């Protein structure tokens, strides 16, 4: 899984000579350019100058950017103007939080797979969908009572993992993270839960369950690439 987007920092040298940056979590340079253009359009003001002398006079009209209106517009679109050093520190802090959260979730998933009380379940499937074997895909047997006994807890553990991963995407990865999280919440998780329910109720075999896991994994991977490709 790729590293989630950091804050986008867009530099601006003010008249004071101090370096400032516009900061917005998860935004791209294209997002900044689009918002900047829109706010520049909205903050233009007509300025007229008239000078009259003893024998002649002249008038001049031009447009100028109202800095206060421009800043208010950018703020309304989620951008904050900050000192470059402070913004860089925020990026570093959020990146550290992100790595810690990813490590915690990875550990959570590994613990479930390695728990001995789930051994009967993982004897019929793999911890990771990418490790499912041809033998497991061709398994015609159905879930036994002992396997069903632990199935609900395993499903809950997996759901907890993806719910928390979804929240992490929303927190750290802006619009793209929100799009991916919406897919996980509205599409991926319901399909995952249905496959477990069908296996539990004897509607599908272990082989069919394993195929559904592989298909859903591939769908998830494709959706992730689609969202983050642009």
Over residues 47-65, the pLDDT tens digits come to: 765 565 555 656 566 778 8
Interval 121-141: pLDDT, tens? 999 999 989 999 999 999 999
Looking at the predicted structure, is the pLDDT value of residue 106 above 60? yes
pLDDT at site 24 = 79
Looking at the predicted structure, is the pLDDT value of residue 229 above 70? yes
Interval 166-221: pLDDT, tens? 998 888 777 888 999 999 999 999 999 999 999 999 999 999 999 999 999 999 99
Looking at the predicted structure, is the pLDDT value of residue 36 above 70? yes
pLDDT at site 6 = 45
Interval 1-18: pLDDT, tens? 444 444 444 544 333 345
Beta bridge mates, 80: 23
The domain segmentation of the chain, as residue ranges, is: 7-87, 91-228
Average pLDDT over residues 64-88: 82
pLDDT at site 197 = 97
pLDDT at site 230 = 67
Query: Which comes out higher in pLDDT, residue 57 or 145?
Result: 145
């Amino acid at each position: 899984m790729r590293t989630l987007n950091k804050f986008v920092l867009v530099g601006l040298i003010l008249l004071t000579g101090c370096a400032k940056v516009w900061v917005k979590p998860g935004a791209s340079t294209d997002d900044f350019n689009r918002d900047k253009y829109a706010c520049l359009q909205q903050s233009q003001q007509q300025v007229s100058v008239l000078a009259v002398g003893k024998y002649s006079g002249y008038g001049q009209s031009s447009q100028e950017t109202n800095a206060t209106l421009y800043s208010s517009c950018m703020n309304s679109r989620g951008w904050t103007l900050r000192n470059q050093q402070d913004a860089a520190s925020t990026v570093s802090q959020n990146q550290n939080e992100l790595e810690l959260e990813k490590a915690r979730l990875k550990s959570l998933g590994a613990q479930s797979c390695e728990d001995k009380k789930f051994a009967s379940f993982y004897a019929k499937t793999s911890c990771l969908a990418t490790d499912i074997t041809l033998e497991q895909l061709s398994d015609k047997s159905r879930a036994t009572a002992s396997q069903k006994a632990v199935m609900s807890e395993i499903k809950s553990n997996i759901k907890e993992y993806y719910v928390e991963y979804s929240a992490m995407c929303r927190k750290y990865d802006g619009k793209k993270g929100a799009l991916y999280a919406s897919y996980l919440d509205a599409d991926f998780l319901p399909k995952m839960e249905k496959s477990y329910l069908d296996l539990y109720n004897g509607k599908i075999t272990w082989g069919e369950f394993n195929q559904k896991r592989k298909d859903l994994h591939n769908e998830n991977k494709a959706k992730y690439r689609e969202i983050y490709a642009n």
